[in-house]
Structures are given as structure tokens and as C-alpha cells.
Amino acid sequence: MRRGVLPVVGSQITRAQRPECRLRPILFEPDICTFDRRVRGQEIVDIGRRGKRVMIHLANEDVIVIEPRMTGLVLLADPPGPEHLRLRLTLQGGINEQLLFWDRRGLGTVRLLSPDELKVKVEGRLGPDALNITHEHLKHKLKTSRREIKVALLDQAVVAGIGNLYAAEILFLSGIDPRARCDRLTGPQWKRIQQATQAVLMEAIEHEGSTLSDGTYRNALNGEGGYQNYHRVYDRVDQSCLRCKKGRIRRIVQAQRSTFFCPKCQQRRGLHHTVRTI
DNA sequence: CATATGTCCTGAGAGC
DNA sequence: TGCTCTCAGGACATAT
């Protein structure tokens, strides 16, 4: 998402509007009038990312923080449908005329924050970014936790940026049972989780994310991602494991969310295992 | 304090 | 066909 909207750096925002006022407000702050007044005339100086949030940095140091959650899209092109458009930034001085936030389910959030608010409301609540973690950090944070590793990896205060699909893929590459309790994991296993996190996320970014069967996720130009073609376990229930060829991928529910794994490759009593892409 | 559960939404697909 | 039910790349408030 961040790469997709990078072309708007250098553009100036001439207007901010919420096209669908009758929709139940998603978490949106401040109200659109104040929002519009504060961003009008501001140049977009950078686009950043922190965990799963896209950060649009303005010349006056305010930051627009977009949290897409399940179905939110940050778009330069026209959205997938006429409804559910949550924010339109009209632009000038660059190639693109607009930057949109479109969100079918409306679980996403858009906030305009000052540098101080950013520290408290974003930085203060997130762990280090998933692409920057060390295995020491993971171990230190979780070695006394009684939670299952899959559930803990989704905690953004521990590591920022791992979602449900990726947690499953990461644990598959690590050869670790998603139900394993954190306080039972060994040093080498924490190391493998860190390596697998790096491998999975870099690969997914390269393929521009996963457009699942419902077709929701789109890149900034409303195109599909390609990583769904490389999933090793996610959404592959009953299919044979790509690594051992024998195990059938299982689906279980943890913390009310689906987990997919290979019961042969991911056993609680750790077998010899190295992280490698298949 | 840490961990578990309910809740906010829309829409696609399965099953009857 | 038309209905109900379940489930979906998430995070947070509230309960235990």
C-alpha cells in the first residue's frame, strides 16, 4: 500500500471530503470539517508505514494515519464499487488527482494526528515493526507468556505488522505448531520465527499482497495482488502439504480466527527444522 | 497484571 | 429460487 501511493509525494492537498455522510461513522478524527481545514494547502512530503498503518506525512508535520483493517483500501485509481468511499483527498501539483480511502466493511480508521498525538496514539502502542525485530526481542517479550504462539504473534504491541494470514505462513516456515505455548518455545525456535517473519513478509510485499477469494484486497491502482498463489497453508484445508507432501493441511480456530497448518511439519515437540522457502 | 471474549460492519458462498 | 448461517489480511473495550 505504501509503495502504491508513493507517487503522491510532492502533491498538494486542496480538499478533504467524506462522500458518504449517511454511513455510520468509522473511527475518523477529527471531524471532517476540522480535518479539511487542517490539511488544505498542505504538501504531502512522505508516505511511511508503521506495522499495518499507512502514514501520510504533511509539510506542517501533521500525519494522516490510515488503518485499513479487514477491507480498507488506499487508492489512487477508482474504487471497486460506488459505495463505501470513506475519504477523498483532492490533489494538485502531481500526476494524481486524488487519493481515496475505500472500505466495504467500514472497520478501518482514518486519523489526522499532530507529532505529539502520533507518539502517544501510534508509536506508544505498537511493538517494533515486524521487518525490524530480532529473535532476542521476541524471546524476551514472550518467553513467560502462556498464550499460544499464533495468538501472540497477532498482538501488535509485541510485533507490529503480522496479520492472521501471515502468522499462519510464518509458523509453517518455522516448523512450529501454532498451538504451542510461548513459554515452551526454545531459543532456536524464536530464531526461526524471526527468520520466517522476514522471509514471508518480504515475499508477500514483492507479490503485492494477497487478493483472497472474495477479491477484497486491491493495490493502489485497483489491481490484484499475487501472493495468494504462493500461500503454503492459508486457505488450503485438506490439501496436501507442499513441504512433506503427506500431511493434509488442517484448519483450527484460535482466538476466534482461522489457523491453517500442517500437522506433520508443525509438531509441538520440535523436530529438526530449518527455515527455507519452498 | 495477563488473557479471553464480544463487538463493530458488509457481502459472498454454503447448505437447506 | 430464497432463505439462514458462517466466515472474512482487525483491533479494541470490557469481562474474567
C1' of C6 to CA of A41 (Å): 47
C1' of C1 to CA of A111 (Å): 45
Name A residues 168-197 whose Cβ lies under 7 Å from strand C: none
Reported as a single tens digit per residue, the pLDDT across A58-111 is 999 999 999 999 999 999 999 999 899 999 999 999 999 999 999 999 999 999
Name A residues 201-260 whose Cβ lies under 7 Å from strand B: 213-214, 255-256
Q: Are residues A151 and A252 in the same domain?
A: yes
Cell numbers standing for residue A224: 490484484
Beta carbon of A127 within 7 Å of strand C?
Answer: no
Percent of chain A with pLDDT over 90: 90
State which residues form the domain around A86. Answer: 6-125
Name A residues 45-74 whose Cβ lies under 7 Å from strand B: none
* Last-in-domain residue among A69, A92, A125: A125
Name A residues 147-166 whose Cβ lies under 7 Å from strand B: 147-148, 151
pLDDT band at A212 (very low <50, low <70, confident <90, very high): confident
Q: Are residues A208 and A227 in the same domain?
A: yes
Q: Are residues A116 and A175 in the same domain?
A: no
Reported as a single tens digit per residue, the pLDDT across A253-267 is 999 999 999 999 999
The pLDDT value given to residue A23: 66
Reported as a single tens digit per residue, the pLDDT across A19-65 is 876 666 678 999 999 999 999 999 999 999 999 999 999 999 999 99
Name A residues 103-122 whose Cβ lies under 7 Å from strand B: 104-107
What are the CA-CA distances from residue A114 to residues A38, A64, A111, A118 (Å)? 11, 9, 10, 6
Considering the domain boundaries, does residue A273 fall inside one? no
Considering the domain boundaries, does residue A269 fall inside one? no
How many structural domains does chain A have? 2
Q: Are residues A159 and A257 in the same domain?
A: yes
Q: Are residues A247 and A187 in the same domain?
A: yes
| pTM reported for the whole predicted model | 0.96
pLDDT band at A214 (very low <50, low <70, confident <90, very high): confident
Q: Nearest residue (Cα to C1') for C10?
A: A69
Reported as a single tens digit per residue, the pLDDT across A160-174 is 999 999 999 999 999
Asked whether A127 and A136 are in contact (CB, 8 A), the reply is no
Q: Are residues A81 and A30 in the same domain?
A: yes
Q: Are residues A96 and A143 in the same domain?
A: no
Considering the domain boundaries, does residue A1 fall inside one? no
Name A residues 49-88 whose Cβ lies under 7 Å from strand C: 51-52, 67, 69-70
The pLDDT value given to residue A19: 87
C1' of B16 to CA of A47 (Å): 50
Q: Are residues A12 and A40 in the same domain?
A: yes
Considering the domain boundaries, does residue A117 fall inside one? yes
What CATH number is attached to the domain comprising A78? 3.20.190.10
Q: Are residues A142 and A120 in the same domain?
A: no
pLDDT band at A275 (very low <50, low <70, confident <90, very high): confident
- What radius of gyration do chain A's Cα atoms show? 20
C1' of B11 to CA of A84 (Å): 12
The pLDDT value given to residue A206: 96
